[in-house]
Amino acid sequence: MSKLLCKPNTTEISSGVTLVHDVTSENSPLEYVGFKVVDLTPGATYTEELGKVECCIVALTGKITVSDQEVTFENIGTRESVFEKIPTDSVYVSNERKFVVEAVSQARVALCYSQSYQQLPTKLIKAEDNGIENRGKYSNKRLVHNILPDSDPSANSLLVVEVFTESGNWSSYPPHKHDQDNLPHESFLEESYYHEMNPRQGFVFQRVYTDDRSIDETMTVENGDVVLVPAGYHPVAVPDGYESYYLNVMAGPTRIWKFHNEPAHEWILERK
Ligand SMILES: O=C(O)C[C@@H](O)[C@H](O)C(=O)CO
């Protein structure tokens, strides 16, 4: 099994709270990005005290109430399935704060982490505040919801975005990377991909590869899997008949998404 492909590994950590993924710097090749997926039954609560990390809590599905013990955002979350393709609500919580997520309905929540040393205000990122983009043409069409883009100064390190790729299409394509701390040309950002497919028995292929091929893995990715991108290009191919959803978390030394397309494939963008 690839070291970059994480299968769901469900553990009930407290009554009604199931940890589905738990990616940390201790158990993965990622240093800047951490990621969890938590399922909650109605009324169940998940509590966490953050150390030197900030967290973006994304209500993937279902309704939740989120509190940092000073402010509370009640009944947030907008969808029963990510494939409703509408933006959802999220909450940014800064380092050294405690937060509580309570499920109002059955809920799946993504917790996106990165290092952070300077406190910022807790913030509700409303669904309607997501920047929506339709990117690409030909067999490269995808819909993007920008939850925490680099133009939004609400976080110190975290970048969070969700992407829907149409059946038979490609995304993160032509292949691009962001693995050199060499601004203004390229930024260094690690990345995680949390994948879902519609219908759920679908699969996608994701290749992660560096210029020197010290990393070169092509993975068959199934519903609920997480792919880790410590470095390199990371295109996704979606078979005919299936739609793809993924949630990306990116972080690195500088909070700028400046990517570099693989020159051999850049002509794909230049087609009329
Ligand atoms: O295909 C897209 O436009 C999505 C990707 O940019 C994805 O968010 C990513 O690879 C970020 O580096």
pLDDT in tens, 94-132: 999 999 999 999 999 999 999 999 999 999 999 999 999
> Around Cβ 58, how many Cβ atoms within 10 Å?
24
**pTM of structure:** 0.98
Q: What is the pLDDT of residue 209?
A: 98
Q: What is the pLDDT of residue 66?
A: 98
Question: Tens digits of per-residue pLDDT, 141-193?
Answer: 999 999 999 999 999 999 999 999 999 999 999 999 999 999 999 999 999 99
Beta bridge partners of 5: 227
Mean pLDDT of 227-238: 98
Instruction: Tell whether ligand 1 has an atom less than 6 A from the beta carbon of residue 208.
Output: no
Contact 76, 124 (CB under 8 A): yes
In the sheet where 98-103 sits, what is the strand order? 45-49, 98-103, 64-67, 72-76
Q: What is the pLDDT of residue 221?
A: 98
- Of the candidates 223, 225, 199, which has an alpha carbon nearest to the alpha carbon of residue 9? 225
Mean pLDDT of 203-230: 98
Q: How confident is the model at residue 272 (pLDDT cuts 50, 70, 90)?
A: confident
Q: Which residue has the tokens 């009604």?
A: 16
Instruction: Tell whether ligand 1 has an atom less than 6 A from the beta carbon of residue 165.
Output: no
What b-and-e string marks burial along 183-221, b requiring 16 or more CB atoms within 10 Å of the CB? eeebbbbbbbbbbbbbeeebbbebbbbeeeeebeeebeb
Query: What is the chain's alpha carbon radius of gyration, rounded to the nearest angstrom?
Result: 18
CATH number for the domain that contains residue 76: 2.60.120.10
CA nearest ligand 1 atom 5, residue: 172
DSSP state of 174: T
Distance CA 57, CA 66 (A): 9
Q: What is the pLDDT of residue 219?
A: 98
Which residue range(s) make up the domain with 175? Answer: 5-270
Instruction: Tell whether ligand 1 has an atom less than 6 A from the beta carbon of residue 163.
Output: yes
Question: Tens digits of per-residue pLDDT, 8-52?
Answer: 999 999 999 999 999 999 999 999 999 999 999 999 999 999 999
Q: What is the pLDDT of residue 1?
A: 72
Give the 3-state secondary structure of residue 46: strand
CA nearest ligand 1 atom 9, residue: 172
Contact 225, 195 (CB under 8 A): yes
Q: Is the ipTM of this complex over 0.95?
A: yes
Q: How confident is the model at residue 2 (pLDDT cuts 50, 70, 90)?
A: confident
Question: Tens digits of per-residue pLDDT, 45-92?
Answer: 999 999 999 999 999 999 999 999 899 999 999 999 999 999 999 999
Give the 3-state secondary structure of residue 22: strand
Helix (H) or strand (E) holding 230: none
- Of the candidates 69, 35, 77, which has an alpha carbon nearest to the alpha carbon of residue 246? 35
- Of the candidates 98, 97, 126, 115, which has an alpha carbon nearest to the alpha carbon of residue 156? 115
Instruction: Tell whether ligand 1 has an atom less than 6 A from the beta carbon of residue 142.
Output: yes
Pocket test for ligand 1, best of 248, 256, 257, 262 (most atoms within 8 A of CB): 248
Q: What is the pLDDT of residue 132?
A: 98
Q: What is the pLDDT of residue 206?
A: 98
Split into its structural domains, the chain has a count of: 1
Q: What is the pLDDT of residue 100?
A: 98
- Of the candidates 83, 65, 82, which has an alpha carbon nearest to the alpha carbon of residue 74? 65
* Neighbouring residues of 71: CB distance < 8 A, sequence distance ≥ 6: 122
